[in-house]
Chain A
Amino acid sequence: MAQYAVLIYSPAPADPMDLTPDYAALLERYPAQVAELGGQILTGFALQPSTTATAVRGDLVTDGPFVEAKEVVAGFFILEAPDLDVALKIARLNPATIDGGVEVRPLFVPPAE
């Protein structure tokens, strides 16, 4: 099994308290759908809205996320799946894809030697 970080992008500021009941219902169903497709969520986190973010570049500390964008990271989870195609199928079912999107990134595994 391969491991992926699935980054959830939602329209800024992505406040988890603003989630609609519909969205919450979709999220409720998600773990079962993941399992059905042959994957497993190992761990996951939701983030406070991007207005609470602070960026640090060198000595410069600024208010706000690292990159100003229409969509911001709202959370992430670690997914275990047999391959990228399965991971993408799982990603596609995530409710964030309705008005935002998700990014699927393989986790780095240090080389064997």
Chain B
Amino acid sequence: MSSAPHRVAAERAVADAHRREWAFVLAATARVAGDFDLAEECVQEAYVAALGAWGRDGVPQKPGAWLTATARRKALDVLRRRQVFRTKLPLLVEPDEAEIDIPDEVAVPDDRLRLVFTCCHPAIAREAQVALTLRLVCGVSTADIARAFLVTEPTMAARITRAKKKISAARIPYRVPEAAELPERLDAVLTVVHLLYTTGHTAPTGDELIRADLVQRALHLNRMLLALMPDEPEVRGLLALLLLTDARRDTRVDAHGRLLRLAEQDRAAWDRTAIGEGHHLVVDAFRTGRAGRHALQAAIAALHALAPSYAATDWPQIITLYDALGRSWPSPVVALNRAVAVSMVDGPATALAEVDALARDTRLTGYHYLPAIRADLLRRLDRNAEAARAYRAALDLVDNDAEREFLTARLAETTES
């Protein structure tokens, strides 16, 4: 007999298992199914079955193991029914059928990592890597992913299907790369996590500045990576960067949703726990002597987070860190951010010269922060007519409403004075 408390407990347990165990269950099932489409189908069915079974019999001691065993059994049934068992078999890493009958078998943590690295294989387009990671590792629905990237659901579904097809057609292996390949592969994974975070931190379009759900996904994924690869300084560095940046989340807009610049933010309201953890992680990453671009960016974020005020920020140290960052990761965006620090040490005129030189870099064409930063420097030099022109140029390129409102307000100030 199904009782109401059982049902409520089952629903909660299934929701909890979806959040925590999805990647485990999918990864373990994919090893039997040999392809992600079948694996996903079976995992979804297993979650549906759990709702009924747990509501009737109570929640099992190891929900993840229950789900894995159920999903794998379904996958084997389907393969047998399709009579492709024999042709699929060579693909299977783990064809041992007996093993799935052990009810409390626990998936190894390596499985999730394999899944992450498969989704982020360099042979898959970067935008598809992010979508696939969200779908397969985080269990986010295609509809939600489509919403996050502001494309239609069929478009996103097609993108994900194409990536999955490539994984099976090109036989992208389902494995954690060897030590020698790790730096290159790990970089793709970290870039995906960072991109996911950035998309949430400042939504590229739309009326809200921050997409908290995406930020949470990125932090969760980064923490999982750190648990699985505790010795990688860049994993540490990226988590530090995300925590230190996210610590300012509540102060980035005012009560009316208007954007506040770093100089205007209420430092007392920054999340000290996150800053403490982030700072600790940066120090650890640097102690390894192998601090890369994520750790360097985190160190810059830490200097901002720990400064008592905007003016009292250690700008010379920030320039030094940007120089190191530019050497390990040459990017015009890094050079542009460096110019802002230069304006605080050597004044806006020196910085403006650097920004104008960067404006010739075609990679920054369409990057609205370039004219926005230029406008700010011109305003500080009292060259208001030119500043207004630069604000207008930035407005032409911006797509986020909160940022648009901010630039419009600055433009109004410049034209008034």
Contact = CB atoms under 8 A, between A and B. Distances in A.
Is B truly associated with A? yes
Interface of A: 2, 4, 82-85, 88, 104, 106, 108, 112-113
Main SS at interface, chain B? loop
B327 interface: no
Contacts of A104: 170
A9 B123 CA distance: 18
Which of B84, B170, B173 has the largest count of A CB atoms less than 10 A from its CB? B170
B83 A84 contact: no
B362 interface: no
A88 B84 contact: no
B169 A112 contact: no
Contact of A83 (B82, B87, B172): B172
A3 to B, nearest CB: 9
A83 B123 contact: no
A2 B168 CA distance: 11
A106 B170 contact: yes
Contact of A112 (B87, B170, B177): B87
A95 to B, nearest CB: 22
A84 B123 CA distance: 9
B171 interface: yes
B299 to A, nearest CB: 34
Nearest to B84: A112
A2 B169 CA distance: 9
Interface string B154-185: 00000000000000011111010100010000
A84 B171 contact: yes
A11 B87 CA distance: 41
B84 A84 contact: no
Contacts of A83: 171-173
A2 B171 contact: yes
Contacts of A4: 170
Nearest to B172: A84
Interface string B80-96: 00111001000000000
A83 B173 CA distance: 6
B171 A113 contact: no
Contacts of A113: 82-84
Contacts of B181: 85
B176 to A, nearest CB: 11
A84 B83 CA distance: 26
A2 B172 CA distance: 10
Contacts of B84: 112-113
Nearest to A104: B170
A2 B173 CA distance: 11
Nearest to B178: A85
14 contacts: A2-B170, A82-B171, A83-B171, A83-B172, A83-B173, A84-B170, A85-B172, A85-B173, A85-B175, A85-B177, A88-B123, A108-B169, A112-B84, A113-B83
B169 to A, nearest CB: 5
Interface in B102-132: 121, 123
Given A85-B173, A106-B169, A113-B82, 20 more contacts: A2-B170, A2-B171, A82-B173, A83-B171, A83-B172, A83-B173, A84-B170, A84-B172, A85-B172, A85-B181, A88-B123, A104-B170, A106-B170, A106-B171, A108-B169, A112-B83, A112-B84, A112-B87, A113-B83, A113-B84
Nearest to A86: B173
Contacts of A106: 169-171
